[in-house]
Structure 1
Amino acid sequence: MTWRVIARSEAGTSHIKRSLPCDDDCLIAQYRLPCGDELLAVVVADGAGSAEHGGEGAQVAIAAVAAALQSRLGESEITLDASLAEILVAAAHDGIASRATNDNLQPRDFACTLLGVLAAPKLGTMAFQIGDGGIVLDVGNGLELAVVPMAGEYANMTHFVTQENFREVLAVRTFDSLATKIAAFTDGLQRIALDLATDTPHEPFFRLFFEKLEEDSLEDEEVLLDKLSLALGRFLQGPQVNERTDDDKTLAIAVWLGGVKSTTASDESGNLDARA
């Protein structure tokens, strides 16, 4: 086991009050490469609140990205670059367009944002993003924001993978180094997870999550990850989050453990729920 990953999507209070589901979706997957390394994929989509079927669009986008990545891995060795990002995003765009045609609707009815990270030891790291939300990485220089969240032409607007010019608004950033810490999240967490004045991560928000994932544990790995995932869900539905946002929120957290001795967190309380 070289990657340890947890992710949760939780409905915002505005959706809960109206008995609506969460419109976010998320992919976390690990793939064994021919060289023996493990490739981690973390991809997050957020259905637009202005789109009647935004949540379905997010689900279609995530499924399309997963299928396209699996297909690409089956063809040959891959390179984590802009061309691969465009293949994945185009798959999401085309998948939603096909779904819209089948339902006699327009792609904008399924509008969603899309962002993700791919990382492997010998390949480095690639982050891609259309829309708001955020990707925070540590590639050896401490936590940094991979891509500045995108704003649209007007206030409270952003870009979506359903746009005809999705290739033009796609942002891609590559790193030669492996990201040993990764967080990806939808815009419901932006004001909590980022310092928007400086476009930098709010490190206290992420520190405990990374520490808990890095801890040595005598528990079965599956049991441990289940417990951490449930704790993450409670945190996302807790007052420290819901008092600051009523939006849906997704948070995926990953740490690289391969070849690195796990560290024990300095906080021994074990309380993931207690901090924002």
Structure 2
Amino acid sequence: MTWRVVSASEIGTSHIAAGTTCDDSCWAAVEVTAEGQPFLSMFVSDGAGSASRGGEGAELAIQAAADFIANKLTHKEFGLSDDLAVECVVAIRERIYSRAETEGLKARDFACTFLGVLSSALGTLVMQVGDGGIVLDAGSGLETAIVPMSGEYANMTHFVTDEEAVTILATKAYPAPATRVAVFSDGLQRLVLDMVTNKPHEPFFAKFFQVLASATVDKEDELHCALVRFLGSPSVNERTDDDKSLAIAVLLS
């Protein structure tokens, strides 16, 4: 078994108008465990608009998470557990806090959310700090794994740089590999989730899963370009002016 993946981040129209850069960052990859088994990792991070270096924080979060998993994959055994999620978030915080100290800034200057999915033949682990969402099918149909987090006030959320981030961290474990997964930043949240029930809009995701499942290896670059075009399309920008990220994976037989 293995997965086919595609991911992209695209700047929002409000950022273009303000002359700022995209503050989202994402990652989706299939690597191999020490036992030679495929291992899926997917991460999305959204830099806080109120943070002067939020976009850089998002990139640091993704890099730190990817490096953390690459190191874990050199070990013969590690469980997809809450402890692993905590270790990952701590690694992200250490990376960001170190950069902040080096540059004489505060960690809050790099504030960002973090969402992650790890999956193998042994199971699936989902982790989340902040808004955005994770939709997956681990054998019981498509579901929103964790209710997107909001802060105390409207348009607020939690960040991986918050002092209480490890306490706020939400996780969910599944005993089976994820067959279909989509991870997205809050720029897409209102387009793809029912904001009352937090259930996924299945028709939206179905077309992406279908295209990804039917594509051949030589079409992967085209899939990325098509996803970038979609995220920057008028139909999406008419409904959201925020940056948006989308990472998708489908388990192949």
What TM-score comes out, normalization by structure 1 length? Answer: 0.89
Segments of 5+ residues of structure 2 without an aligned counterpart are: none
Cross-structure match for 2:168: 169
Cross-structure match for 1:19: 19
Q: Give the direction of change, closer, same or farther, for the CA distance of 1:35–1:244 in structure 2 (3 Å limit).
A: same
Query: 2:178 & 2:60 partners in 1: Cα distance?
Result: 27
- Return the offset for 1:75: 3.2
What residue identity is the alignment partner of 1:238? S
Larger Rg: 1
Q: Deviations over 1:182-210 (max 9, x none)?
A: 00000000000100110110111101000
Query: 2:163 & 2:123 partners in 1: Cα distance?
Result: 30
Query: 1:186 & 1:216 partners in 2: Cα distance?
Result: 25
1:1-276 equivalence runs, <5 A: 2-121=2-121, 123-215=122-214, 217=216, 221=217, 223-257=218-252, 260=253
- Return the offset for 1:73: 2.0
What residue identity is the alignment partner of 1:236? L
Q: Deviations over 1:231-256 (max 9, x none)?
A: 11111111111001000000001000
- The 3-state SS of whatever aligns with 2:74 is helix
- The 3-state SS of whatever aligns with 1:136 is strand
- Return the offset for 1:178: 1.1
Query: 2:164 & 2:128 partners in 1: Cα distance?
Result: 14
- Return the offset for 1:216: 5.5
- The 3-state SS of whatever aligns with 1:188 is coil
Aligned length: 253
- The 3-state SS of whatever aligns with 2:188 is helix
Query: 1:68 & 1:256 partners in 2: Cα distance?
Result: 23
- Return the offset for 1:72: 1.9
What TM-score comes out, normalization by structure 2 length? Answer: 0.97
Q: Contact 2:35–2:76 (CA<8 Å) still a contact in 1?
A: no
Query: 2:38 & 2:113 partners in 1: Cα distance?
Result: 26
- Return the offset for 1:34: 2.9
RMSD: 1.1
Percent identity reads: 53
Segments of 5+ residues of structure 1 without an aligned counterpart are: 261-276
Query: 1:151 & 1:18 partners in 2: Cα distance?
Result: 25
- The 3-state SS of whatever aligns with 1:205 is helix
